Amino acid sequence: MSDPLLRVRDLKIGATVYPPGEKPKKIEIVHGVSFDLEKGKVLGLIGESGAGKSTIGLSSLGYGRGGVEITGGEVWVNGRDILKGGIKGLRKLRGAEVTYVAQSAAASFNPAKKLMEQVTEGAISHGRMTRAEAEKRAVELFRKLGLPDPENIGNRYPHQVSGGQLQRCMTALALCPKPDLVVFDEPTTALDVTTQIDVLAAIKEAIRDTGVAALYITHDLAVVAQVSDHIMVLRHGETVEYGETDQIINAPQKEYTQALVSVRSIEHAENLPKGDPVLRVSHVTARYKGTNFDVLKDVNVELHPGKTLAVVGESGSGKSTLARAITGLLPPTGGRIEFAGRTLSPGLNQRTRDDLRELQMIYQMADVAMNPRQTVGTIIGRPLEFYFGLRGDAKRKRIRELLDEIEMGDGFIDRYPAELSGGQKQRVCIARALAAKPKMIICDEVTSALDPLVADGILKLLLDLQKIEDVAYLFITHDLATVKAIADSIAVMYRGKVVRYGPKSDVLAPPFDDYTDLLLSSVPEMRLGWLEEVIASRRMESAGN
Amino acid sequence: MKNIPLSAMIGLFFTALYFLAAIFAPLIAPYGMSDVVSNEIWAPASSEFLLGTDSIGRDLLTRMIYGGRTTIFIATAATILSFVTGSVLGFFAAVSGGWIDQVLSRFVDLMMAIPSLILALVVLAVVPVTLPVIIVLMGLLDATRVFRLARAVAVDINVMDYVEAARLRGEGTSWVIFREILPNALSPLVAEMGLRFIFMVLFVSTLSFLGLGVQPPLADWGGIVRENKDGIIYGIPAALWPAFAIATLAISVNLVADWVLNRTTSLKGGRG
C-alpha cells in the first residue's frame, strides 16, 4: 500500500478574534488533528457548530476563511506537503486535484452565468480537459446524478433549477475536473428531508462510480452514517473519536459520541384533549399581496389548552404562512380564526392588547429575533412593562424569576445578545414569550438552527414549561424527530393543504397517504444501510407501478 | 476609549481645536471682530498681525477666528436640523410603508431633482437673509439626502424578526422607530453626519462667497474669501487662509467619522 491520498498530521489552525474594546488577539481553534484518507474512501467529519469541522475540511485545500490561518502541522495530498508549496502550488491543486462543494449552492453559483459554463470552468482553466471533453463529462455527470434532461440542463441559469438540483449541479462541478479528493461541506443541510435523500443517494453513487475520495462534513450523524467509511467526531477543535462508521454508530466509546448517537431520546406521551380548544382555525385561505395563488387552502386545525400541535411539511408547504395568518401578520382572505373563545380579527391592527398578549411567538433565528442593542433585561422586561405595567423592582424581580425558569442565572440580565450562545439566545426568546403569560405560543422552527444536543435541551425546557404554565404550543417544524418527541397532535401540510391531521398516534400509524409516507421514510435513520434500503424499496415500488 | 488610532487622534485634535476656537472666539481673538486696526490693507504677516490684515485693514486672524465661529455654528445647527427631520421622516416612511412612504419619497425625489444651490439662491433672493433663515433652508435641503439614507437603512432593519416581534407585541410606531430601529441605524447615520457637516461648511461658504449667505460685517470663511479674492492677483495669500481652514476641518472631521464607523461596524456585524 502506497501513501494515502490525504494525510493530515497534527494540524493546528489559528484565528484572530476581535473582542469589543480590546486589542485583536490570536487564538487556536484546531488543536492538532491527524487523519488519513485512502483513495476512494469517504471520511465523515462530524461535530456541533464551532467544532472546527469546516475549517479542517478547507485546510485540505490549503485554505483558511477570513482571519483563519493554518499555524502548524502538515497536509499531504498525493505525496506533497501542500502547505509548503506556496500559493502557486495551491492554485494548481485547488479546483483540480481537490475540489469543494459548499453548503448553499444557491449562494455559491454565479446567477449571471449558465450552469454548463460554471460546471466546466475548473476543468478547462486548469487545462485538464478541452471544452468539448469537459462538456461531455458534465453531461455524463448530470445523468449520473439523476438530473432531468442531462443534455440540456447545462443551458439553464442557476435560478431555473430547484434547490436540490442545484446542489447536484454543484456536485457535478466538483467532480468534473476528475479530482482525487472532494470536500463536501454540509451539502444537504439546507435541503428538505424529501430532497435530501435524493441528493444523498446521488452523491453516494457518484462517489462510488468515480472512485474519488471525499471528506464529508455535517452535523447530522444519521446522514454521515449513510455515506462514509470512517467517521471522525470533533469537538472544540479536537478529535473526540475516530473510527470505522460501524463502530462509531453501534459501539461508541466516548461519552460525547454516545450522547450524539442517542440524541432525541425525549419521550412524550400523547395527551388526549378535553374541553374547548384554545385555537380553532376553520377554512382559512390566504394569499400574499399581488399574487393570485393561494398559499393556504382551506386549512382546519384545532389546538387544546396545554397541548402541542405540530405542523410538519417541507419548505413552501405553507406552514410558516399558517403562523403568519394566525398572528395577523398576513390577514387571511377567507375563513375564521377563533382564539380563547373569541373570533380574532384578521389584521394585526384591529386586535386587542389581550389578543396580542395571549398569543406569543418564538422564532427560528434567535439572533435576529432580539434587538442586538438591547440587554437581556430590556428584552424580557419590555413585555412585563407593556402588558402588566411592571416597573422598577417588581419588574426586575419578575425578570429574575423568568431567567430562573429558563435555567439561566440573573447574571445574564445586563448582557447583550451578542454575548450569548445560540441555545441561550433561544432561551431568552422563550422567556420573552412567557413574560406575557400567553395561552398559546407559536414556535416557528425553534430548534432547527441549533446543534442537536442544544436543541434537545430547548425541547426539554419547552415541555417542562408547558407543564408548569399550561401553555399550548403550535409547533412548526420540518424535522419529524422533533415532532415525535413533543407533539400531541400533528398536521401534515403539503402545498398549502393539510393532508393529514389527527392525534400523534393516528398520524404516525399506517396506512399512510403517499406524501406522509414519503416524508416519514425520508428521515435519515442512524443505522448503516438505511439509505440503500429506502432507495431499493422506492425503486421496487416504481417498478411495480 | 483606549486604542484610538493615530489618524483619529489627529482628527480629534484638530476638530477640537476648531470647535474650541469657535466657542471661545471673543477670548482668543486679539482684536474686535470688525475693528479696522491698521492703515495698511493686505499687510503682510507681522508680530502685530499674525496673518496680516485684510482688504480694509482688519486683523485677518481675528476675522478667521470669528469667521470659523459663524461657519461652524451654522453648519452644526443645519446638520442637526437635517438629521433630526431627515432621519425621523425616513424611519417613519420605512415603517409605515404604503402610500405614506410613496408620498414622502416622491416629494423628496422632487426636491432632489432641483439643484440645491439654485433652489437656495432663489429662496434667499426672496426672503430676508438672516442666520435662522440660512440654517433652516440648509437643514431642510440637506434633510432630503439624510431621508434617503435613513429610509434605506430602516427598510432593512424593519424586516428583522425583532421588529416583527415588537409589532406582534402591539408596540406603536414611535417605539419601533426610536427603540428598535434608531439604535441599529446609528452607525451609518453618524458616519454620514461627519460627511454632511463638511458639505454644510462648504455650502454656507459658497452662499457667502456669492453674497447671499452671511452678511457683512459678520465674518465667515466664505465671506473672507470673497472680501479678499482680489488680493490673489497681487500675490496676497489672505483669501487662501479660509480655504486652508475649510480643508483641514473637512479632513479632521472625516478622520473622526471614519474611526467611529470602524468602531461600530466590526466583523461581527458591529452591534457591540
CATH number for A112:
3.40.50.300
A65 and A173 in a single domain? The answer is yes
Cell 505525496 identifies what position? A79
CA distance A358 to A79: 65
Q: Which of A20, A353, A373 sits opposite B170 (nearest CB)?
A: A353
Question: B12 to chain A nearest CA, in Å?
Answer: 19
Nearest to A186 by CA among A53, A34, A86, A28: A53
Cβ contact B169–A23 (<8 Å):
no
Q: How crowded is residue A539: how many other Cβ atoms within 10 Å of its Cβ?
A: 10
The residue count of chain A comes to 545
Cell 504677516 identifies what position? B45
CA distance A33 to A73: 9
3 state DSSP class of A414: coil
DSSP string, chain B: -----HHHHHHHHHHHHHHHHHHTHHHH-SS-TT-B--SSTTPPP-SSSTT-B-TTSBBHHHHHHHHHHHHHHHHHHHHHHHHHHHHHHHHHHHHH-HHHHHHHHHHHHHHHHS-HHHHHHHHHHHS---HHHHHHHHHHHHHHHHHHHHHHHHHHHHTSHHHHHHHHHT--HHHIIIIIIHHHHHHHHHHHHHHHHHHHHHHHHHHHHTTSSSPTTS--HHHHHHHHGGGGGGT-GGGHHHHHHHHHHHHHHHHHHHHHHHHHS-TT-S--
3 state DSSP class of A475: strand
Residue of A nearest to B167 (CA): A348
A423 and A455 in a single domain? The answer is yes
Q: Is residue A516 part of a domain?
A: no
A82 and A225 in a single domain? The answer is yes
Q: Which chain B residues have a beta carbon less than 8 Å from that of A373?
A: 183-184, 271
A156 and A293 in a single domain? The answer is no
Give Cβ neighbours of residue B67 (< 8 Å, ≥ 6 apart): B219, B220, B221, B223, B224, B242
Q: Report how many domains make up chain A.
A: 2
CA distance A59 to A517: 41
Strands lying side by side in the sheet with A308-312: A359-362, A440-444, A472-477, A308-312, A489-494, A497-503
A120 and A205 in a single domain? The answer is yes
Q: Is residue A212 part of a domain?
A: yes
Q: What are phi and psi of A92, to 5 degrees?
A: -70, -35
Q: What is the pLDDT of residue A252?
A: 85
| Cβ A100 vs Cβ A182: under 8 Å | yes
Low-confidence ranges of chain A (pLDDT < 50): 1, 545
| Cβ A375 vs Cβ A419: under 8 Å | no
Q: Which of A351, A353, A418 sits opposite B272 (nearest CB)?
A: A418
A398 and A443 in a single domain? The answer is yes
A17 and A157 in a single domain? The answer is yes
Question: How many residue pairs bridge chain A and chain B with CB atoms within 8 Å of each other?
Answer: 62
Give Cβ neighbours of residue A492 (< 8 Å, ≥ 6 apart): A312, A313, A498, A499, A500, A501, A507, A515, A516, A519
Nearest to A134 by CA among A126, A142, A124: A124
Cβ contact B267–A21 (<8 Å):
no
Q: What is the pLDDT of residue B267?
A: 40
Cβ contact A372–B167 (<8 Å):
no
Q: Which of B162, B167, B269 sits opposite A369 (nearest CB)?
A: B162
Please state whether beta strands A230-235 and A238-244 pair in parallel, antiparallel, or not at all (unpaired): antiparallel
Cβ contact A418–B162 (<8 Å):
no
Determine the residue among A65, A371, A416, A437 to mutate to test chain B binding: the one whose Cβ has the most chain B Cβ atoms within 10 Å: A371
The residue count of chain B comes to 272
Cβ contact A361–B165 (<8 Å):
yes
A167 and A305 in a single domain? The answer is no
Nearest to B2 by CA among A39, A66, A23: A23
Q: Is residue A351 part of a domain?
A: yes
Q: Which chain B residues have a beta carbon less than 8 Å from that of A417?
A: 271
pTM above 0.90, yes or no: no
A196 and A342 in a single domain? The answer is no
| Cβ A351 vs Cβ A388: under 8 Å | no
Lookup: cell for B185: 441605524
Which residues are registered as beta bridge partners of A476?
A: A311, A444
3 state DSSP class of A31: strand
Q: What Å distances lie between residue A16 and A29, A56, A339, B35, B61, CA to CA?
A: 10, 16, 51, 61, 50
Q: How far is CA A208 from the centre of its chain?
A: 26
Strand spans (E) along A47-132 = 68-77, 80-81, 98-101
A255 and A287 in a single domain? The answer is no
The residue range of the domain holding A22 is 6-261
A233 and A297 in a single domain? The answer is no
Q: How crowded is residue A132: how many other Cβ atoms within 10 Å of its Cβ?
A: 9
Give Cβ neighbours of residue A306 (< 8 Å, ≥ 6 apart): A271, A466, A470, A471, A472
Q: Which of B170, B179, B271 sits opposite A356 (nearest CB)?
A: B170
**Which residue type occupies B194?**
G
Lookup: cell for A396: 426586575
Q: What is the pLDDT of residue B44?
A: 77
| Cβ B45 vs Cβ B236: under 8 Å | no
Cβ contact A369–B161 (<8 Å):
yes
3 state DSSP class of A122: helix
| Cβ B162 vs Cβ A370: under 8 Å | yes
Cβ contact B268–A18 (<8 Å):
yes
- The residues of A whose Cβ lies within 8 A of any Cβ of B are 18, 20-21, 23, 66-67, 327-329, 348, 351, 353, 356-357, 360-361, 363, 365, 368-374, 382-383, 386, 416-418, 432, 436
Q: What Å distances lie between residue B252 and A306, A332, B200, CA to CA?
A: 62, 56, 15
Q: What is the pLDDT of residue B143?
A: 94
CA distance A72 to A69: 9
Model confidence pLDDT, tens digit, residues A379-405: 999 999 999 988 889 999 999 999 988
CA distance A97 to B18: 61
Q: What is the pLDDT of residue A428?
A: 93
Lookup: cell for A183: 470536500
Give Cβ neighbours of residue A483 (< 8 Å, ≥ 6 apart): A310, A312, A475, A477, A490, A504
Strand spans (E) along A147-203 = 181-185
Low-confidence ranges of chain B (pLDDT < 50): 266-272
Q: Which chain A residues have a beta carbon less than 8 Å from that of B269?
A: 372
CATH value of B6-23+58-264 in 1.10.3720.10, 1.10.569.10, 3.50.50.60, 2.60.120.10: 1.10.3720.10
A226 and A284 in a single domain? The answer is no
Q: How far is CA B235 from the centre of its chain?
A: 31
Q: Is residue A342 part of a domain?
A: yes
Which residues are registered as beta bridge partners of A300?
A: none
A256 burial type by CB count under 10 A (0-12 exposed, 13-18 middle, 19+ buried): middle
Boundary-marking domain end, from A228, A261, A294: A261
Check residue A191 and report its DSSP letter.
Answer: S
Q: What is the pLDDT of residue B105?
A: 94
Determine the residue among B153, B158, B162 to mutate to test chain A binding: the one whose Cβ has the most chain A Cβ atoms within 10 Å: B162
